[in-house]
Copies of this chain bind each other. A is one copy, B any other.
Amino acid sequence: MYYNDPRLQFPVRVENPDPRFARALQQAIGGVEGEIRVCMQYFFQGWGARGPKKYRDMLLTTATEELGHIEMLATAVALNLEGAPLSLQEEVSQDAIGGAILNGVNFQQILSSGLNAMPVNSDGIPFDMSHIYASGNAAADMTANVMAESTGRVLAVRLYNMTDDPGMKEMLQFLIARDTMHQNQWLAALEDMGGFEKNFPIPNSHPQGEELQEFSYAFLGFDRDGAEPVQGRWSNGTSMDGKGTFTSRPMEPLGDEPKLAPPPPASGAQDKQMDGTSILAGLV
């Protein structure tokens, strides 16, 4: 169950509103690297956490924090839209220096939201929840979270570099720092669960003896000329999970050409597909 406080986690102020930066900030709200994603991902992982209780607690704690980050960014978008042009006939829409600002505004923020944030990315595309990764495997979820915070911090840094508004830079300094923590936090959770060697390959509950181990640590090449594939840490030495030794080799097909049965008569195919004679005739 959840509670709210009308105040913000961190101050949000905008000195020079720019509706184009409002458009850019939307990526941090509704983009796949954005805050709705981490918020909802941690909530769903937490609500479905089966196993040690402390991971549930940690997930819900940080999910709750992220909800406040969406709020901060939504506030930042609303403030950047104050004073935005509303029509093609306004002066700013005719502005020669800097181009017509209106050209760079997301029209949905005028037409659909009335100068407010929307749960969409910088192109106005609504966030869709297929990006919420909650696999039921705690270690896989942690890798999803490391990824989410990595792309999230990359995005926050790009936004930081995109503006010189002091208020916006300060807010982003805070969000970048939180992403630093959260990257470390999910890596620490993997460590807490036993570290990379105990958890990889994910899932660790599958007996490795059942997999085709000849292919478990081999870097396979698909160069047309049959050349040895490009070498690196991935082709030599102990595997990262400590359970094998990397090798490499070019790959050849091990299977035959697939042979599918002709379609059954009631399946709506063309007669030539169903006709044995045609099939023979069709062979090169």
Contacts and interface: CB of A to CB of B under 8 A. Distances in A.
A234 B58 contact: yes
A233 to B, nearest CB: 4
A28 to B, nearest CB: 8
Contact of A154 (B10, B140, B162): B140
Interface residues of A, number: 204
B48 A78 contact: yes
Given A32-B130, A174-B215, A270-B205, A221 B6 contact: no
B51 A274 contact: yes
A47 B24 contact: no
Interface string A46-90: 011111111111101101110110111011001100100011110
A270 B202 contact: yes
A103 B20 contact: yes
Contacts of A217: 180-181, 184
B127 A129 contact: yes
A22 B160 CA distance: 24
